[in-house]
Structures are given as C-alpha cells and as structure tokens.
C-alpha cells in the first residue's frame, strides 16, 4: 500500500490535471461555437450564387468539368492536430473504400494522414495540413490545383473526403463530389423567359468559368472549416473523456488516502495507548 504522503501528492496532482483538462475542454468548446456561428455566411453565399442560374441556361455550354466519365481523383483532408488519430483513420478508410479508389489518384492533405497512408503502401500526392488562419488562402491554392489538373486531364472526376461534425459530439467522414460540377451544368427549371430583360457581359463560357472558380473555392473553404470544426469537436470529446477518467481516479485515490490516513491515526493511537500501559506497568513494578 502506498504511503499517505504519496497518496496525498497523487490526489493533488490528479485534481490539478482535472482542472487543467476542464479548462482546455472549455476553450475547445468555445472555439467550436464561435466557428460554427460563422458558417452561416456559406448559406448566404449559396443563396446569392444560385440566383445566377434562372437567368441563363448553361446546359448548352460545353466544358471539360461537365463530363461524368474519366479518371478519378480522391482528395483526403486529414488533421495534424492532437486527438485526431481515430478520425483521420476513419476518413482515410472511407476514401479507400470508395468505388474505383484502387485506380484513383490519391491526394492527401496533412502529414499524419500521409504517414498512415504510407504505412498501408499506397502511392499518393502529399500536401501540408491546412493552417487554421489561412483556410481561405488554402482554398484558393487548391482550387487552382484542381482546375489545372482537371483541364490537363489528370482527373475528370474528383471527390473530397473529410471529417464533418454532425453535432458537437459526433464527427463523421463525409464524401463531397467536386468534379464534375453537375449542379452548375444540369438543366435548370424556371429559367427566365424574357431574354430581353437580361444583359450579359461576356460569353456564357466566360461566365461559367467565373462561376466554376467561385463555386470550387467556396466548397473547399467550407470543407476546410468543417474539418477545423471537427478538430475542436474531437478535442472536446477526448478531453471530456480524459477529464472523467481523472475524476474517477481522483475519487479512488481520495478513498485510499482517507483509509490510509485513518489507519495511520488508528495505529498511532494504539501505539500511544500501548506505550502508556507499558509505562504504568514499569512504574507499578518499581
């Protein structure tokens, strides 16, 4: 059995660690809530963005990104933050189980995801993880990469696999189709009939190029924010689990400490009582 002093020190250490984990959990939770509120701007963007389509029928526009056949590319978004190992693994396994993944070009974002995929023996393109303060800049960079490789024929179809927070405590690998941009080119209902009321500057091809650029950037930006939200969510859940483990451990140690302390006090009292009896016997003998 541990000494009373050791149990007391361990109890105090566990209490301090539990307090620290509770503070870190609160910070991660607050960060999640703040970033979640910002996601409303994506809804406003899409609402304004979709207003273009009742004006012009882009269905007749011929564009490489409208093809639904050709080489497949799979972009996997993973995190280099702590407490994300299990979620990274689920994201990668979801990507590898996608139909046609064996022959697809794999593109991995994040060093930890790349390390895991390398251990499985797969060939892939690797990019550094997304910095939290450069999500939009990274979205523009990868948009340029996608357009360049797509027009070059490296892939005609592209999906993104990333961690999406379904709720504050639940994260799930999500699959998002980027190419072909079917929702841009598909036949739109309720097209404006009075063409004379519409003034266009530039050709439909030029307009669609601009819309493609904006749409892919927005999707990437939203994906990177969802991935960041998943980091906060997974971190909060992991810290809460660790916090509960420490609290349970602290209760056990506290019980051991009190029991040992009481035993020590009881032993001291018995020894003092026995010493007093022995002392009285010696006095009576004299």
Residue partners of 70: CB distance under 8 A and separation at least 6: 153, 155, 156, 157
Neighbours of 96 (CB within 10 A): 17
Between the two ends of the chain, the Cα-to-Cα distance in Å is 42
Specify the pLDDT at position 207: 72
Whether the pLDDT of residue 190 is over 80: the answer is: no
Whether the pLDDT of residue 35 is over 80: the answer is: no
Q: At the top level of CATH, which class does the domain 35-236 belong to?
A: alpha beta
Query: Which contacts qualify for 277-286: CB closer than 8 Å, 24 or more apart?
Result: none
Specify the pLDDT at position 98: 95
Whether the pLDDT of residue 193 is over 60: the answer is: no
Whether the pLDDT of residue 191 is over 80: the answer is: no
Using alpha carbons, select from 209, 215, 210 the residue that is nearest to residue 64.
209
Burial class (CB in 10 A: 0-12, 13-18, 19+), 89: middle
Whether the pLDDT of residue 202 is over 90: the answer is: no
Least reliable range by pLDDT among 56-60, 87-91, 168-172: 56-60
What is the per-residue pLDDT across 116-126, written as a single tens digit (0 to 9) for each? Answer: 999 999 999 99
Specify the pLDDT at position 124: 94
Specify the pLDDT at position 158: 93
Specify the pLDDT at position 230: 81
What is the per-residue pLDDT across 65-80, written as a single tens digit (0 to 9) for each? Answer: 777 788 999 999 998 8
Cβ atoms of 91 and 161 within 8 Å: the answer is yes
In whole angstroms, give the CA distance from residue 243 to residue 250.
Answer: 10
Specify the pLDDT at position 235: 75
In whole angstroms, give the CA distance from residue 275 to residue 107.
Answer: 79
Tell me the pLDDT band of 53, cut-offs 50, 70 and 90: low
Whether the pLDDT of residue 54 is over 70: the answer is: no
Specify the pLDDT at position 278: 72
Average of pLDDT values for 123-149? 91
Q: Which two tokens stand for residue 90?
A: 């689920």
Tell me the pLDDT band of 164, cut-offs 50, 70 and 90: confident
| 81: three-class secondary structure by DSSP | coil
């Amino acid at each position: 059995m541990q000494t009373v002093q050791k149990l007391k020190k361990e109890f105090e250490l566990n209490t301090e660690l539990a307090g620290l984990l509770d503070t870190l959990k609160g910070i991660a939770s607050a960060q999640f809530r703040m970033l979640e509120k910002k996601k409303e701007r994506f809804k406003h963007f899409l609402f304004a963005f979709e207003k273009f389509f009742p004006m012009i029928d882009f269905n007749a526009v011929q564009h490489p990104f409208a093809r639904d056949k050709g080489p497949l590319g799979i972009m996997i978004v993973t995190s280099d933050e702590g407490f994300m190992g299990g979620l990274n693994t689920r994201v990668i396994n979801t990507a590898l189980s996608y139909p046609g993944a064996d022959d697809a070009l794999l593109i991995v974002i994040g060093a930890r995801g790349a390390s895991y995929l390398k251990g499985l023996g797969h060939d892939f393109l690797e990019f550094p993880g997304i910095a939290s303060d450069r999500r939009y800049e990274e979205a523009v960079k990868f948009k340029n990469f996608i357009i360049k490789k797509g027009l070059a024929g490296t892939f005609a179809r592209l999906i993104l696999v990333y961690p999406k927070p379904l709720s504050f405590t639940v994260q799930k690998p999500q699959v998002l189709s980027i190419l072909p941009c079917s929702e841009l080119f598909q036949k739109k209902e309720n097209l404006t009939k009075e063409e004379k009321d519409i003034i266009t500057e530039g050709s439909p091809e030029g307009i669609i190029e601009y819309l493609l650029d904006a749409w892919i950037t927005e999707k990437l930006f939203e994906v990177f924010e969802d991935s960041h939200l998943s980091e906060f969510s997974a971190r909060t859940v992991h810290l809460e689990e660790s916090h509960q483990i420490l609290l349970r451990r602290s209760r056990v140690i506290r019980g051991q400490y009190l029991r040992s302390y009481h035993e020590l006090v009881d032993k001291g009292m018995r020894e003092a009582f026995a010493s007093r009896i022995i002392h009285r016997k010696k006095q009576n003998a004299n």
